[in-house]
Amino acid sequence: MLGTLLVREDEAGRRVGRIVETEAYGGPEDLASHARFGSTVRNAVMGGPAGIAYVYLVYGMYDCLNVVTGVPGSPSAVLIRAVEPLAGVDVMRAARLAVERRRRRVREGAATVAARDRLAAIPDRHLARGPGLVGACFGVDRTWTGVDLCAPSSALRLEPDPTAADGRAATPIVAGPRVGVGYAGEAWASVPWRFSLAGHPSVSRAR
């Protein structure tokens, strides 16, 4: 998935981001995965066909976009952790501001102006530098769970990078431990299933 494009196309315009950072999550044996409790209402789509969106809410605030990757019956998914904005940057900024307003339950006023100023100071390459920010930039929330990300007709979808000969990343790929999964225990927390394009500025900060 690294190097492929995340595309959202709707009335607001066309948003495109290049995937630069991902994390892989397995089935019940993977104690860091949402599938560790088996199939539940929340994670049901993880056990379905590949290419489907699985969006969950973390920390009561941020929507994170995953792509189901396994065969039916073997739950697994890949979290899109960061994206390099390539098009529709203005729409992304507007979407981030909308999320911020909703979070703070503010419509207009000083708080909104402050939020807009903070956002204006953020360079394009850092707009979607983290899984919660990817969701915010692309206006994706849990209701998008189930969308077919491989269907050209979907408003949210994956596309091969047309500038890459084989549609994949040419840059070297770095692997390391997944972020924020200490609860899974040393064995699973240390598995190097976080992948990113080496040295890319849109990759989220390591912890």
Partner DNA sequence: ACAACGATCAACT
Partner DNA sequence: GTTGATCGTTGTC
**Minimum CB separation from DNA for residue 19, in Å?**
14
Site string for DNA, 113-132 (x = CB under 7 A): --x--x----------xxxx
Residue 143 or 153 with smaller CB distance to DNA? 143
Q: How far apart are CA 56 and CA 144, in angstroms?
A: 10
Would you call 78 helix, strand, or coil by DSSP? strand
Q: Which is nearer to DNA, 36 or 168 (CB)?
A: 36
Query: How far is the C-alpha of 115 from the C-alpha of 121, rounded, in Å?
Result: 10
Nearest to 6 by CA among 80, 72, 57, 117: 80
| Virtual torsion, Cα 23, 24, 30, 33, nearest 10 deg | 60
Report how far residue 48's alpha carbon sits from residue 75's, in angstroms, rounded to the nearest whole number: 7
- List phi, psi (to 5°) of 56: -130, 160
Residue 3 vs 70, nearer CB to DNA: 70
Q: Which residue from 6, 7, 32, 140 is in contact with DNA, where contact means CB under 7 A?
A: 32
Site for DNA in 140-159 (CB under 7 A): 142
Does 64 bind DNA (CB under 7 A)? Our answer is yes
The reply on whether position 84 binds DNA by CB under 7 A is no
Binding-site size for DNA (CB under 7 A) equals 41
Site membership for DNA, residue 179 (CB under 7 A): yes
CA–CA gap between residue 66 and residue 2 (Å, rounded): 13
Q: Which residues bind DNA (CB under 7 A)?
A: 23, 25, 32-35, 37-38, 40-43, 46, 56-62, 64, 66, 77, 79, 103-105, 115, 118, 129-133, 142, 178-181, 183, 204
